[in-house]
């Protein structure tokens, strides 16, 4: 194992220190906790948004803290849910008087710990609402999940719910638009190689030299099957077919597309994949309103990618394209 770290048990702490040092205009740390919040938190008169999960998915989630997206991000240990007290401190730090929405990826530990934190905050008089993202069409249940997993589609929830909150909308209205995104977003991914969790010191799974895993989760959970590696076009076509079988779309519908790298896939390959995604949607006369290509939700150094398709209406499109200013969100 080769990693550019100092001590395996200090990777999250030292990463958070580095994030704050790089982006002090965007984020500050809640002292004593693995929580980063907007530099101007709490923002009075605005619904706060908090998300998070295990570390190792950078730039998710701290990279999306800033105007127009998240107000707070909670970092658990690598691939491990943050504890309820960490989430609770994030809620307290971002509450500007209009309540806080928790955006939770559908993993058993995340759901349980975020819900416990919500109860703690509500007992203190803070109004809290929750949404659970479950965009992965690959498998219904997985190693750490009852129901579908939450993967890169979560970033679209951050963006659109965050834009809604910036308008001064109520907590119920922000929750409603987040639920609309969740109902209309689907994703699926694949892996060419595993990653190494620093504390484990060995790959999370093994693949033969000519083998890939289709439907792999962002923590190395099993997918639908393993197969001999095929071309980028063939693999992309399989993922897009699975997505479109689950997300009813008609000619003329508008969508946003995200081709997300898992950490070890070069931009060259992601753009080759995007070329095929665009071709496949074009054949069905589906209109792509906006495309995002890059590393949005990674799995350490895992090689692979996911495709996300979000069906848009006028409201979702306007909020997706609304300005945002965070360390990792590039607004083209």
Q: Which residues are catalytic?
A: 57, 219
Question: Please, which residues have CB within 8 angstroms of residue 152's CB and are 6 or more apart in sequence?
Answer: 135, 187, 189, 218, 258, 260, 296, 297, 306, 308
End-to-end distance of the chain based on CA atoms, in angstroms?
37
The answer to whether 181 touches 157, Cβ cutoff 8 Å, is yes
Cis link prior to 42 (omega < 30° from 0)? Answer: yes
The CB-side HSE value for 327 (13 A sphere, CA atoms) comes to 25
> What is the DSSP track for 33-67?
SSEEEETT-S-TTS-EEEEEEEESSTTTTGGGBSB
Here the contacts of 180-183 (C-beta below 8 Å, separation 24 or greater) are: 180/315, 180/316, 181/153, 181/156, 181/157, 181/310, 181/316, 182/131, 182/132, 182/133, 182/134, 182/135, 182/153, 182/157
Helix (H) or strand (E) holding 77: strand 72-78
> Distances in Å between the alpha carbon of 117 and those of 53, 93, 101, 110, 191?
13, 13, 12, 10, 33
Q: 40-72 burial, b if ≥16 CB within 10 A, otherwise e?
A: ebbbeebbbbbbbbbbbbbbbbbbbbbbbbbbb
How many angstroms separate the CA atoms of 41 and 132, rounded?
Answer: 24
Residue from 148, 300, 153, 293 nearest 220 by CA:
300
């Amino acid at each position: 194992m080769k990693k550019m770290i100092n001590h395996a048990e200090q990777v999250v702490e030292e990463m958070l220190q580095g994030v704050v040092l790089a982006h002090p205009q965007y984020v500050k740390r809640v002292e004593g906790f693995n929580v980063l919040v907007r530099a101007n938190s709490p923002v009075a008169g605005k619904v706060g948004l908090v998300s998070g999960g295990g570390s190792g998915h950078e730039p998710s989630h701290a990279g999306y803290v800033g105007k127009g997206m998240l107000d707070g991000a909670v970092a658990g240990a690598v691939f491990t849910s943050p504890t309820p007290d960490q989430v609770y401190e994030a809620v307290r730090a971002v509450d500007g008087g209009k309540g806080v929405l928790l955006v939770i990826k559908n993993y058993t530990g995340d759901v349980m710990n975020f819900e416990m934190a919500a109860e703690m905050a509500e007992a203190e008089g803070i109004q809290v609402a929750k949404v659970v993202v479950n965009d992965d069409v690959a498998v219904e249940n997985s190693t750490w999940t009852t129901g579908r997993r939450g993967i890169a589609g979560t970033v679209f929830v951050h963006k659109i719910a965050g834009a809604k909150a910036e308008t001064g909308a109520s907590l119920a209205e922000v929750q409603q638009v987040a639920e609309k995104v969740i109902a209309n977003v689907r994703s699926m991914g694949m892996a060419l190689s595993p990653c190494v969790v620093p504390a484990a010191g060995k790959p999370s799974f093994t693949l033969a030299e000519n083998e890939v895993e289709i439907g792999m989760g962002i923590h190395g959970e099993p997918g639908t099957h393993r197969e001999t590696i095929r071309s980028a076009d063939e693999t992309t076509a399989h993922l897009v077919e699975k997505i479109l079988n689950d997300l009813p779309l008609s000619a003329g519908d508008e969508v946003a597309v995200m081709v997300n790298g898992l950490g070890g896939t070069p931009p060259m390959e992601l753009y080759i994949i995007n070329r095929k995604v665009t071709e496949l949607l074009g054949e069905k006369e589906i209109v792509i309103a906006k495309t995002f290509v890059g590393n949005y939700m990674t799995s350490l150094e895992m090689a692979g990618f996911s495709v996300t398709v979000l069906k848009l209406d006028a409201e979702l499109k306007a909020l997706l394209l609304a300005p945002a200013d965070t360390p990792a969100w590039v607004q083209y």
